[in-house]
Amino acid sequence: SYCNIDLKSDFDKISDGCLYLLNEFFRDSSTFKTVAKSNINIVDYILIWLSYMLNLTNSGEKNNITCFYIAYMNDCDKYNKEINELTDYKSYKDLLDKKNEVLNINSNDVSKFYKAFKLLYEMYTEFDENTSKCSKFSEKAEKFVKIYEELNDSNNTIYSGYCQAWSTLLNDYNNLKNKCKDYNPLPEINTTETDAKCSEQTSKKNNVAEYEQFSEDTSSSSSIASKLIPVLLIFAAIPIFLGIAYKRKTKKNKEENESLINYYEYDD
C-alpha cells in the first residue's frame, strides 16, 4: 500500500485525536453555536496540530501528510459522514478541504507555529478578565514575538496556508494584547510587509470574511476567554487523552527510544 504499515498505529491515534477535536467543536449543536460557528478558524488550529503530529512520525521515506489524507480523510466514513451542524459544509472532510493548505507548510515552520500556539494557550489561561493585567506572562509574550519574527518571511506569503496560520495566531495574540491594561503593554509584532501580503492573499479567498469575523467577535464586549480558551483547553487534553508516544524514526536519533508529546512542555 502507499502508506508505511509501520506508521498505521500512529496514524490511527492521530486520526482519533483529529476526530475528537472536530466532534468537540462541530458535532454538538450547543458547542457549535457558541464557539465553532463564530470562529471557523478553529480548523486552522486543528490542522496545525495535525501537521505537527504527522511530522513527528516522519520516517523520511514517505510523505506522511499525503498518506494520511488519502488513507483517512478520503476513505474514512467518519470524515465523510454528513454533519447536520455544518450548514455550509457537507462533512468534516469538506470543512478540512477548504482549509487544508495549512498542511503544505514545511515542517520547520509548522513546529514554530505550534510552539507559538502553545505559548498563546499559556497566556490566555493566565489572563484574568477581572484585572486585565498581563505583566505576569510578559516573558511568554516576548518568546511568542520572537517566534513570529522568525516566521516573518514575506517570501512565504505566496502560500495561502502559511497566511491562514499566520493570520489566525496573530489576530488572537493581538486580541489578547488589546485586552491588557498594564502600564507596560505586551510587545508589538512588526509584520507590516508580511501582513500586507497575507491580507492580499486571503482577500483572494472566498472565505475572507471568516478571517475577519473572529477578530471582530473577540474585540466585542463578550469575554475573550469564552472564545479561545475552550479551543486551547481541548488541544491541551489531546496528548493526555490519547497517551501518544512516538518512536523517532530518523537515523540521527536511533538512540532515542520514545518521545512523549506533552502539550504543557515548551522546548526553548
Band of residue 164 on the pLDDT scale cut at 50, 70, 90: confident
Residue 149 has what pLDDT?
83
**Closest to 54 (Cα-Cα) out of 69, 66, 65:** 65
Q: What percent of the chain has pLDDT over 90?
A: 4
Q: Of residues 266 and 85, which shows the higher confidence score?
A: 85
pLDDT score of 185 more than 60: yes
Give 24-29 contacts, CB < 8 A, sequence gap 24+: 24/234, 25/231, 25/234, 26/83, 26/85, 26/86, 26/92, 26/95, 27/83, 27/85, 28/85, 29/84, 29/85
Mean pLDDT of 126-145: 88
Mean pLDDT (the chain) is 69
pLDDT tens, residue by residue, 233-259 = 555 555 433 443 333 333 334 443 333
Please, are residues 123 and 140 in contact by the beta-carbon 8 Å criterion?
Answer: yes
Residue 157 has what pLDDT?
60
Band of residue 165 on the pLDDT scale cut at 50, 70, 90: confident
Residue 236 has what pLDDT?
55
Question: The whole model's pTM is what?
Answer: 0.72
pLDDT tens, residue by residue, 24-71 = 777 765 555 555 444 567 788 889 989 888 888 765 545 788 888 888
* Strand, coil or helix: 260: strand
Domain boundaries, the chain: 5-260
Residue 132 has what pLDDT?
83
Band of residue 265 on the pLDDT scale cut at 50, 70, 90: very low
pLDDT tens, residue by residue, 148-163 = 888 877 677 667 788 8
pLDDT score of 263 more than 80: no
For every residue of 194-216, DSSP letters joined together read HHHHHHHHHHTSTTHHHHHHHHH
pLDDT score of 140 more than 90: yes
pLDDT score of 75 more than 50: yes
Strand partners, 246: 259
Q: Report the alpha-carbon distance of residue 171 to residue 235 in Å, rounded.
A: 19
Please, are residues 249 and 102 in contact by the beta-carbon 8 Å criterion?
Answer: no
